[in-house]
């Protein structure tokens, strides 16, 4: 038996001794939620019944602390628990007659809230409240769900857990299931918990520690039994050999923009790819064709992954993709029509979330990167469940109508309606060169704030790490990636853009911004200086622009490129002929690309900064001294000098340039291409003409 099959207890008595009852509940919840073998992200809930004083009357009351709506038990804090009066829960129970009242009962839960706690109680509250024990855990362990998804789940529950766990068949969570669970526990005081068909595990005990240990014990029992009994090779063995790792990644990179282009009509999608061993075991197996269409079992799984995945052959051409994706949508619409009720919400996005590619791995697409990643993790949960269940019995997905009733539950719809409106750049992917610098990082910040995924590319690895870490902290680790790249190297540029596609599934925005300055009178300009300036600025912008253009064209969703040129790209200035000419070339390149890109909806525009001293590395070096000397002022007078020189008499900051770039990156400028925008506080010599 492999060592990591068994979950170890992480309970620390000394630490626990310092905690009160809510603290112990939180401690136990965080321990349980920190291991994906115990429960999936956001799945499961925990509770404790705690004696308290009523804040209004001072009377002694019993309060149920139970994980509220939203959040994840692994990372939740105390404010993630809803608190409800136990006696009021029982008053509602006394009023409950039949299933037609279920949704109204959920609304009535808000009348049970203790201490004006703003955390909304979830539909699982009932499953905790009526169990006559102080502590209850509910988790979605893959090992237990595997057993709960077998055709002979009742017999297996008995065989594996002896008399310790009872069994209840699948039923949508709500007061009705809560009452059944409570009655089962009351009638069978020897039971330590219950297996819920197709769904998961409930355990209960008198102390927080006992409840925690019991949950681990039951999961371990299931895992050990499965390990000993699963038929091998798993999934009937290999049908399609895995491609070499390099080729798997390359094929995923080729397919992702093609899929994304076909499924992003109603909402831009972000992608995620994995070729983890357990994924390859499944997608390469003989069992794939039989199991994939059955759909997932646990409701948590398919709410994220949709009822079933789409299988795509490696090497699929665009015509094949068109056919398969259209077929999936038609199947989904047919499922909706078969199952819809008179008051069902309108059909939602009919595209698949999970794409399985034999020999290659799994791609997922969702409204943002975090959701795509989590959906992919959920499908791995589903694979684990199918491996266990199909290895010891016959795997059963959730019946179609049950799945539909969860997916289109009016309460679920209400939750969706309450979600904040998507940000303007949500789901889009931007690639920014010089991303570690002043203007580049201000641009990244601006786009991240609007919900955009950002890939920062820069030659300066150290600054890049710092800037990226800061953004990951502020906006979440899913939103930002970085790649070290020299814009003068064709190979590095190609590889960097491939990274962007592999990480997010496509490309919508390219910000050509990496730059240096050079200054010398014409007769002192060496060929080396001239070439270096052109290599980084003009040729660098060309290489990045060309690769971005190729990806956008294949993806067929249009796109926006922004070239950060300079006031000097329009206005000649003395002592910097190489720089001015290279910057002018960037502007003209942008126009040429705007011309060719227009039929594909690829827009190319230019932002011209001037004298952005703050945050700019360019202005930290020699350039400042040269500029100060040529203006016969001190370096620290430069900012004031440029301010006074501008028409508006204002300083220009990196955020001002970022604002202009955001305008061109977003749909605000949907009807502009081939333009340039000066963000320089006004200089007559750079006026457009
Ligand atoms: N700051 C200004 O006053 C000003 C004015 C006009 C135009 N611009 C232009 O704005 C852009 C950004 O400038 P900034 O002020 O943020 O400067 P910055 O020096 O802060 O940022 C430029 C970034 O480009 C990176 N870089 C340099 N060479 C590279 C290469 N070969 N490959 C990849 N990355 C490379 C640098 O490491 C740096 O992080 C530049 O193109 C610059 O010419 C700036
Ligand atoms: Zn559940």
pLDDT of res. 560: 98
Helix (H, G, I), strand (E, B) or coil at 67: strand
Catalytic residue among 96, 167, 335, 579: 579
458 touches ligand 1 (CB under 6 Å): yes
Contacts of 413 by beta carbon, 8 Å cutoff, 6+ apart: 345
389 touches ligand 1 (CB under 6 Å): no
**Burial category of 628 from C-beta neighbours within 10 Å (exposed 0-12, middle 13-18, buried 19 and up):** middle
Whether 579 is a known active-site residue: answer yes
Phi, psi angles (nearest 5°) of residue 606: -125, 140
Q: How many CB atoms lie within 10 A of CB 667?
A: 10
What digits encode the pLDDT tens for the residues 564-577? 999 999 999 899 99
Q: 672 CA distance to ligand 1 centroid (A)?
A: 25
The C-alpha atoms of residue 559 and residue 549 are separated, in whole angstroms, by: 8
The encoded tokens of residue 134 equal 């102080």
Least confident of 301-315, 339-353, 424-438, 601-615: 301-315
- What domains sit in the chain, N to C, each tagged with a CATH number? 3-229 (3.40.225.10), 245-418 (3.40.225.10), 429-612+652-681 (3.40.50.720)
Rounded mean pLDDT, 218-243: 97
Q: Give the confidence band of 3 by pLDDT, cuts at 50, 70, 90.
A: low
Q: 565 CA distance to ligand 1 centroid (A)?
A: 10
DSSP 58: -
The encoded tokens of residue 455 equal 């890939």
Closest CA to 253 of 458, 622, 506, 509: 506
- Which of 467, 487, 514, 519 to mutate for ligand 1's pocket (most ligand atoms within 8 Å of CB)? 514
What digits encode the pLDDT tens for the residues 112-135? 999 999 999 999 999 999 999 999
The encoded tokens of residue 198 equal 């197709």
Rounded mean pLDDT, 153-173: 96
The C-alpha atoms of residue 118 and residue 116 are separated, in whole angstroms, by: 6
Q: How many CB atoms lie within 10 A of CB 3?
A: 6
660 touches ligand 1 (CB under 6 Å): no
What digits encode the pLDDT tens for the residues 46-99? 999 999 999 999 999 999 999 998 889 999 999 999 999 999 999 999 999 999
For ligand 1, atom 27, the nearest C-alpha belongs to 515
The encoded tokens of residue 280 equal 């390859």
Residue with tokens 């950002």: 454
460 touches ligand 1 (CB under 6 Å): yes
Q: 398 CA distance to ligand 2 centroid (A)?
A: 14
Q: 300 CA distance to ligand 2 centroid (A)?
A: 7
Rounded mean pLDDT, 619-636: 87
């Amino acid at each position: 038996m492999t060592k990591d099959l068994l979950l170890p207890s992480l309970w620390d008595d000394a630490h626990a001794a310092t905690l009160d009852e809510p603290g112990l509940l939180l401690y136990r919840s965080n321990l349980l939620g920190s291991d994906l073998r115990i429960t999936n992200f956001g799945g499961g809930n925990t509770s404790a019944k705690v004696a308290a004083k009523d804040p209004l009357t001072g009377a002694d009351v019993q309060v149920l602390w139970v994980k509220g709506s939203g959040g994840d038990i692994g990372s939740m804090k105390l404010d993630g628990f809803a608190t409800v009066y136990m006696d009021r829960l029982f008053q509602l129970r006394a009023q409950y007659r039949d299933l037609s009242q279920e949704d109204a009962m959920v609304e009535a839960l808000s009348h049970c809230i203790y201490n004006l706690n703003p955390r909304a109680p979830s539909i699982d509250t009932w499953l905790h409240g009526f169990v006559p024990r102080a502590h209850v855990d509910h988790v979605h362990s893959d090992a237990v769900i595997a057993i709960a998804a077998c055709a002979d789940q009742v017999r297996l529950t008995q065989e594996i857990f002896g008399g310790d766990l009872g069994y209840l068949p699948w039923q949508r969570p709500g007061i009705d299931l809560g009452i059944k669970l409570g009655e089962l526990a009351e009638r069978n005081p020897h039971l330590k918990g219950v297996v819920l068909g197709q769904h998961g595990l409930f355990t209960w005990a008198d102390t927080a520690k006992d409840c925690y240990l019991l949950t681990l014990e039951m999961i371990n029992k299931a895992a050990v039994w499965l390990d000993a009994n699963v038929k091998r090779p798993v999934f009937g063995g290999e049908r399609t050999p895995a491609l070499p790792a390099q080729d798997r990644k390359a094929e995923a990179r080729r397919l992702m923009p093609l899929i994304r282009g076909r499924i992003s009509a109603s909402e831009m999608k972000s992608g995620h790819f994995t070729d983890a061993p357990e994924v390859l075991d499944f997608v390469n197996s003989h069992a794939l064709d039989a199991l994939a269409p059955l759909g997932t079992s646990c409701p948590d799984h398919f709410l994220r992954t949709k009822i079933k995945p789409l299988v795509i052959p490696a090497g699929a051409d665009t015509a094949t993709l068109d056919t398969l994706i259209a077929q999936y949508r038609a199947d989904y619409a047919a499922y909706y029509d078969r199952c819809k009720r008179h008051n069902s919400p309108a059909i939602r996005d009919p595209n698949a979330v999970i794409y399985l590619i034999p020999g290659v791995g799994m791609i997922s697409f969702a409204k943002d990167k975090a959701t795509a990643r989590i959906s992919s993790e959920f499908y791995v949960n589903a694979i684990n469940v199918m491996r266990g269940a199909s290895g010891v019995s016959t795997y059963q997905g959730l019946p179609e109508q049950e799945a539909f009733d969860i997916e289109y539950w009016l309460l679920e719809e209400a939750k969706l309606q309450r979600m904040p409106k998507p940000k303007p750049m949500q789901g889009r992917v931007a690639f920014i060169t010089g991303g570690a610098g002043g203007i580049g990082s201000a641009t990244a910040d601006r786009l991240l704030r609007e919900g955009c995924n950002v890939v920062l590319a820069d030659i300066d690895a150290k600054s890049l790490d710092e800037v990226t870490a800061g953004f990951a902290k502020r906006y979440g680790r899913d939103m930002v990636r970085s790649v070290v790249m020299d814009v003068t190297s064709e190979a590095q540029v190609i590889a960097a853009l491939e990274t962007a596609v592999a990480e997010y599934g496509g490309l919508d925005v390219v910000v050509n911004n990496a730059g240096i300055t050079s200054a010398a009178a014409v007769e002192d300009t060496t060929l080396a200086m001239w070439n270096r300036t052109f290599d980084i600025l003009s040729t660098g912008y060309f290489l990045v622009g060309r690769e971005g253009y190729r990806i956008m064209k294949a993806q067929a969703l249009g796109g926006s490129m922004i070239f950060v040129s300079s006031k000097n790209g329009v206005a000649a200035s003395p002592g910097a002929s190489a720089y001015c000419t290279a910057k002018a070339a960037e502007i003209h390149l942008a126009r040429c690309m705007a011309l060719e890109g227009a039929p594909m909806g690829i827009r190319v525009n230019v932002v011209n900064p001037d004298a952005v001293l703050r945050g700019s590395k360019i202005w930290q070096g020699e350039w400042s001294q040269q500029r100060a000397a040529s203006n016969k002022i001190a370096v620290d007078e430069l900012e004031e000098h440029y301010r006074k020189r501008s028409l508006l008499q204002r300083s220009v900051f990196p955020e001002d340039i970022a604002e202009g770039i955001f305008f061109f990156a977003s749909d605000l400028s949907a009807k502009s291409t081939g333009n340039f925008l000066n963000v320089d506080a006004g200089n007559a010599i750079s006026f457009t003409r």
